[in-house]
Amino acid sequence: MSNIVAIVGRPNVGKSTFFNRLIQRREAIVDAVSGVTRDRHYGKSDWNGREFSLIDTGGYVVGSDDIFEAEIDKQVELAIDEADAIIFMVDVETGVTGMDEDVAKLLRKVDKPVFLAVNKVDNNKRAEDAVEFYSLGLGNYYTIASINGAGTGELLDALIEALPEKEEVVEEDLPRFAVVGRPNAGKSSFINALIGKDRYIVTDIAGTTRDAIDTKYNRFGFEFNLVDTAGIRRKSKVKEDLEFYSVMRSIRAIEHADVCLLVLDANRGFDGQVQNIFWLAERNRKGIVILVNKWDLVEKDHKSVKEYEKAIRKQVEPFTDVPIVFISALTKQRIYKAIETAVEVYQNRSKRIKTSELNDVFLPLIENYPPPAYKGKFVKIKYVMQLPTPQPQFAFFCNLPQYVKDPYKRFLENKLRDNFGFTGVPISVYMRKK
């Protein structure tokens, strides 16, 4: 699991520019996912071979500056609770403000690594002006210019050195299912319904993260680890509906799982926050099962299930091959089906397809539907194989990989799904030079 680094600070100091700079370097290479990534406030980055998750807290606060005053304290408190290290960003143009002092006051009490980054320092005069930030009482600062990346190397070197090493857990080969979703969707009730009064528990393992608890279950003939984020008591100061909070929690659980059971409240629907969590799981290439909970409370006619399902699939395009199970944690309706489905998705995610089989299916198919010619050049795909990665990734070897565009890659992905069944699992398709 990677460490979590949070970027905090008041609005307009350049947090997002810095964030985008760090993740794009990497996403340009790794995250070539078809379709747009909807959630721009969470990403993965790496520096000198150490990977970490990056959170831009500013992205979660919408509203004017006075609303922000109240929110920023919450953001910083959450970052202090959840992150492994904090980058506090200030702006040399405006100098030290009252809000900066408030944030510094909170950060001085923390025993986690805090890095003061003075942004917009792009000449010597500004470097001299930065000296006033010593007054925040956070010790040394780093001068950077997020717009062109100046100074970020020194900051990242120091950050990586200070990040705690995550202890590698010896993994058992049990599927790990994370129960995620927004607050009050019924995650706890679902877990309690699964466990039952007499707790079907083999062993209780404290999770590696201090907040996601792994419980080994053996029930319904399946053995699996449940990564439970629902039972975590939040700090009383944190408002239940804070989007940032759910996302923080979900990141930890998702990174730690093979399959995510995304629980949503049937009455609230597949709203923005649920979508955020869905795309987090998709971008981490995890298996996904959508559980529509509290289905017993919904007014239904004979079309309800189909229409509800259709609406969700519309919102998760182009990744529509995802199982949706309608459950009620209260009446235990279909909770067994939910686990059964998660096990199937887990098996799909670890599926290996023989190279000969892939080529038997794809070479005739590609001959009949070749990639469209580009600037008069014809792309010839000669060979396909599955890469030896934990999740399904396929390499198609051809003469001109740069000319194969997303629509054709999606066509190949759909054919992989039609022929080999990868329901619930994101697939990556790469074009490689033969």
pLDDT digits (tens, 9 = 90+) for 109-121: 888 899 999 999 9
The tens digit of pLDDT for each residue in 209-257 reads 334 456 677 766 778 887 766 544 444 444 444 556 666 667 777 877 8
Per-residue confidence band for 159, with pLDDT thresholds at 50, 70 and 90? very high
- When the pLDDT of each residue in the chain is averaged and rounded to a whole number, the result is 80
Q: Compute the average pLDDT of residues 42-59.
A: 78
Q: Which of 280, 315, 350 is at the close of a domain?
A: 350
Same-domain pairing of 312 and 409 = no
Same-domain pairing of 232 and 93 = no
How confident is the model at residue 361, as a pLDDT? 94
Same-domain pairing of 405 and 289 = no
With respect to residue 171, please indicate whether it lies within any of the assigned structural domains: no
How confident is the model at residue 71, as a pLDDT? 64
Q: Which of 131-140, 267-276, 309-318 has the lowest mean pLDDT?
A: 267-276
Chain Cα centroid distance, residue 123: 37
Same-domain pairing of 278 and 374 = no
With respect to residue 211, please indicate whether it lies within any of the assigned structural domains: yes
Cis peptide bond prior to 323, omega within 30° of 0: no
The tens digit of pLDDT for each residue in 4-18 reads 898 888 877 888 788
Query: Two tokens at 113?
Result: 């690594």
**Alpha-carbon gap, residue 434 to 432, rounded angstroms:** 6
Put the strands of the sheet holding 259-265 in their side by side order. 201-205, 213-219, 222-228, 176-180, 259-265, 287-293, 324-326
**Alpha-carbon gap, residue 26 to 149, rounded angstroms:** 14
Same-domain pairing of 240 and 100 = no
Asked if pLDDT for residue 38 goes beyond 50, the answer is no
Same-domain pairing of 346 and 371 = no
Asked if pLDDT for residue 303 goes beyond 80, the answer is no
Provide φ and ψ at 54, rounded to 5°.
-120, 135
With respect to residue 167, please indicate whether it lies within any of the assigned structural domains: no
In this prediction, what percent of the chain has a pLDDT beyond 70?
79
CATH code, domain with 397: 3.30.300.20
How confident is the model at residue 363, as a pLDDT? 92
- pTM comes to 0.68
Binding site, annotated residues for GTP? 9-16, 56-60, 119-122, 181-188, 228-232, 293-296
How confident is the model at residue 304, as a pLDDT? 84
Per-residue confidence band for 165, with pLDDT thresholds at 50, 70 and 90? confident
94 vs 205, which has greater pLDDT? 94
Per-residue confidence band for 87, with pLDDT thresholds at 50, 70 and 90? very high
**Alpha-carbon gap, residue 296 to 363, rounded angstroms:** 48
Measuring CA to CA, which residue among 387, 322, 380 is closest to residue 358? 387
Same-domain pairing of 59 and 131 = yes
Contact call for residues 289 and 325 (beta carbons, < 8 A): yes
Measuring CA to CA, which residue among 298, 112, 261 is closest to residue 181? 261
Q: Which of 138, 162, 186 is at the close of a domain?
A: 162
The number of distinct structural domains making up the chain is 3
Q: Which of 350, 381, 406 is at the close of a domain?
A: 350
Same-domain pairing of 323 and 230 = yes
Same-domain pairing of 198 and 344 = yes
Hey, how many other C-beta atoms are within 10 angstroms of the C-beta on 98?
A: 8
Contact call for residues 384 and 361 (beta carbons, < 8 A): no
How confident is the model at residue 26, as a pLDDT? 43
Q: Compute the average pLDDT of residues 411-434.
A: 91
Domain that holds residue 407: 355-433
With respect to residue 26, please indicate whether it lies within any of the assigned structural domains: yes
With respect to residue 398, please indicate whether it lies within any of the assigned structural domains: yes
Residue 332 Ramachandran class (φ > 0 left, ψ -120 to 50 alpha, else beta)? left
Asked if pLDDT for residue 370 goes beyond 60, the answer is yes
With respect to residue 158, please indicate whether it lies within any of the assigned structural domains: yes
The angle at the Cα of 130, spanning 127 to 133, to the nearest 5 degrees, equals 160
Same-domain pairing of 266 and 405 = no
**Alpha-carbon gap, residue 325 to 184, rounded angstroms:** 18
As a three-state string, the secondary structure of the chain is CCEEEEEECCCCCCHHHHHHHHHHHHHCCCCCCCCCCCCCCEEEEEECCEEEEEEEHHHHCCCCHHHHHHHHHHHHHHHHHHCCEEEEEEECCCCCCHHHHHHHHHHHCCCCCEEEEEECCCCHHHHHHHHHHHHHCCCCEEECECCCCECHHHHHHHHHHHCCCCCCCCCCCCCEEEEECCCCCCHHHHHHHHHCCCCCEEEEECCCCCCCEEEEEEECCEEEEEEECCCCCCCCCCCCCCHHHHHHHHHHHHHCCCEEEEEEECCCCCCHHHHHHHHHHHHCCCEEEEEEECHHHCCCCCCHHHHHHHHHHHHCCCCCCCCEEECECCCCECHHHHHHHHHHHHHHHCCCCCHHHHHHHHHHHHHHCCCCCECCECCCEEEEEECCCCCCEEEEEECCHHHCCHHHHHHHHHHHHHHHCCCCCCCEEEEEEC
How confident is the model at residue 180, as a pLDDT? 87
Measuring CA to CA, which residue among 186, 183, 230, 215 is closest to residue 335? 186
How confident is the model at residue 172, as a pLDDT? 59
How confident is the model at residue 196, as a pLDDT? 66
How confident is the model at residue 69, as a pLDDT? 61
Contact call for residues 76 and 69 (beta carbons, < 8 A): no
Provide φ and ψ at 357, rounded to 5°.
-65, -45
The tens digit of pLDDT for each residue in 402-420 reads 888 889 999 999 999 999 9
In this prediction, what percent of the chain has a pLDDT beyond 90?
29
**Alpha-carbon gap, residue 223 to 95, rounded angstroms:** 57
Provide φ and ψ at 141, rounded to 5°.
-125, 165
Measuring CA to CA, which residue among 292, 260, 269 is closest to residue 391? 260
How confident is the model at residue 167, as a pLDDT? 60
Asked if pLDDT for residue 76 goes beyond 80, the answer is no
239 vs 135, which has greater pLDDT? 135
Same-domain pairing of 213 and 258 = yes
Same-domain pairing of 289 and 378 = no
**Alpha-carbon gap, residue 177 to 184, rounded angstroms:** 19
How confident is the model at residue 427, as a pLDDT? 92
214 vs 133, which has greater pLDDT? 133
